[in-house]
Amino acid sequence: MGVIVLFGSLSLVGCIEEDGAVGVVEEGATAEGLAEPAVLTPDAAEEGPYGCGAALGTPVDGGFTQTVQPEADSLLLGAPDVPVNPHLVPGADAAHEMMLVWQTAAGTIGGRAQVGFAEDGLSWTIPGVSYAVAGYRIHVVRLCGLASDRSWRFRVGSDNGWSEVGSFTTFPEAGVDTPVRVAVIGDTRNGPASFASLFADIDAAGVDLVVFTGDAVGNGTNWEEWSEWYEAGGTAFLHQPLLFAPGNHEGNDQYYFAQFPSHTGVGHQAIEAGPLHFSVVNDNPTAGVTLEAEAAWLAADLAAATAPWKLPMWHKPAVAACQPHGEDPNNRQWLLPVVDAFPEVRLVLNGHNHNYERSSPYRGGQVVEGGVVHLTSGGGGAPLYTGSYGFDYSALQVKSQHWVLLEADARTLNVTAYDLAGNVIDQFTLVR
């Protein structure tokens, strides 16, 4: 199938203020061979979701312990406390899995989730696991067996106190041509006011998933900063599942691993989300793991993925011109050759540089038709960077706090970046 991408604005610029440059695209493909969306009924989830927390990976850093939660209220040990910082983390199969995560006092070990199709119909009560982390307890209920492409309601806690009712929508089945919407944002550290504004816009847009490119906080070991981050996100965290690529500022800390439990315990993970496959690399490898090993995992994951769009993601760009960080030499050495080896990879997501940037289609060290667009979204609130190394493969840099909307079906991937005021600062489309 032909692959044609045309960018309307390829002028080489430095980090510019609120530039309105717009990239564009075209070219059609047929819908032949695509499955129609399935018609879902309540009967599709007749058996209901179930807890599968025992399958969680064991975080390798920090030495904290995982506790299987008892179901009986009589085993509650802590004082009555309402869950705080509840949030959603997508499971590996986003059509059927979701993790519900929250925090309580360290002594509260009897938490569970109540899940259903409506706020007044939370039919299933499901226990999970918890982590004792430096004076707190972080609870995780991993839901499996969810019906796909449905809106779900939930609350978390115990009879000692419940969260507000949240909601999420499971992704369509892989191979079903239902459009999905995903937000990209990163590098929010030290900028909670901007993050709050951008995340409110993301919530209003009603996306199915938020992809976070790393560096939520300045110091991953500081619980106060994490709490400030959750406060800024507000109730949006109850409605927007968040897929997180750990940044250097998370520091592989126990707080990060407990709040965003990955399936591997080392920070890399893959999820299937309708027509999208995200391969999240931890480019700050944990102790005993090399970047070479992360690259090998990425190669194997991309080779096994069958989704129409394969989207590798990690924190520090391998292709970027924005000063001072520019592109990371280690990621350029180990990760760039991997994505270049897969013609079906067309977009890579990164953060770390506090601006918006996208490369021209780039593969094998040169700008080529059908190459990979390397997109930096690192303007979630952190102080913005200026300056450019002027690499000729950098198509656009915009010094602006922003978020990015991905709208995808099996053959088209629309990308639109918005600034704090809601202005479009870039737009382009990839077509398979």
| Residue type at position 198 | L
Site residues for Fe ion, 203-232, by CB under 5 A, read 215
Q: Which is nearer to Fe ion, 297 or 385 (CB)?
A: 385
Examine residue 172 and say whether the peptide bond preceding it is cis (omega within 30 degrees of 0).
no
Smallest separation, CB 250 to Fe ion (Å): 9
Smallest separation, CB 216 to Fe ion (Å): 10
CB 100 within 8 A of CB 143: yes
Smallest separation, CB 187 to Fe ion (Å): 6
Smallest separation, CB 162 to Fe ion (Å): 36
Q: Between β-strands 166-169 and 151-158, what pairing exists: parallel, antiparallel or unpaired?
A: antiparallel
Give the phi and the psi of residue 402 in degrees, each rounded to 5. -165, 170
Q: Which is nearer to Fe ion, 186 or 312 (CB)?
A: 186
Q: Which is nearer to Fe ion, 312 or 378 (CB)?
A: 378
* DSSP codes joined into one string, 187-228: --TT-HHHHHHHHHHHHHHT-SEEEE-S--SS-TT-HHHHHH
Smallest separation, CB 214 to Fe ion (Å): 6
Q: Cα-atom radius of gyration of the chain, to the nearest Å?
A: 21
| Residue type at position 183 | A
Smallest separation, CB 74 to Fe ion (Å): 46
Q: Which is nearer to Fe ion, 19 or 283 (CB)?
A: 283
Site residues for Fe ion, 335-354, by CB under 5 A, read 352
CB 13 within 8 A of CB 391: no
From 116, 233, 247, 380, residue interacting with Fe ion (rule: CB under 5 A): 247
CB 360 within 8 A of CB 10: yes
From 246-254, 282-290, 295-303, 356-364, give the range in contact with Fe ion by CB under 5 A.
Answer: 246-254
Give the phi and the psi of residue 192 in degrees, each rounded to 5. -60, -30
From 66, 67, 227, 248, residue interacting with Fe ion (rule: CB under 5 A): 248
Q: Which is nearer to Fe ion, 187 or 203 (CB)?
A: 187
* DSSP codes joined into one string, 367-415: E-TT-BEEEEE--SSSPPP--B---TTEEEEEES-EEEEEEE-SSEEEE
Q: Which is nearer to Fe ion, 145 or 251 (CB)?
A: 251
67 contacts Fe ion (rule: CB under 5 A): no
Q: Which is nearer to Fe ion, 278 or 314 (CB)?
A: 314
Q: How far apart are CA 254 and CA 244, in angstroms?
A: 15
CB 238 within 8 A of CB 164: yes
Q: Which is nearer to Fe ion, 230 or 385 (CB)?
A: 385
From 16-24, 72-80, 148-156, 240-248, give the range in contact with Fe ion by CB under 5 A.
Answer: 240-248
Smallest separation, CB 150 to Fe ion (Å): 36
Taking CB atoms, the residue at the shortest distance from Fe ion is 352
CB 360 within 8 A of CB 393: yes
Q: Which is nearer to Fe ion, 155 or 352 (CB)?
A: 352
Smallest separation, CB 354 to Fe ion (Å): 9
Smallest separation, CB 267 to Fe ion (Å): 14
Closest CA to 254 of 212, 286, 216, 292: 286
The residues binding Fe ion (CB under 5 A) are 215, 247-248, 352
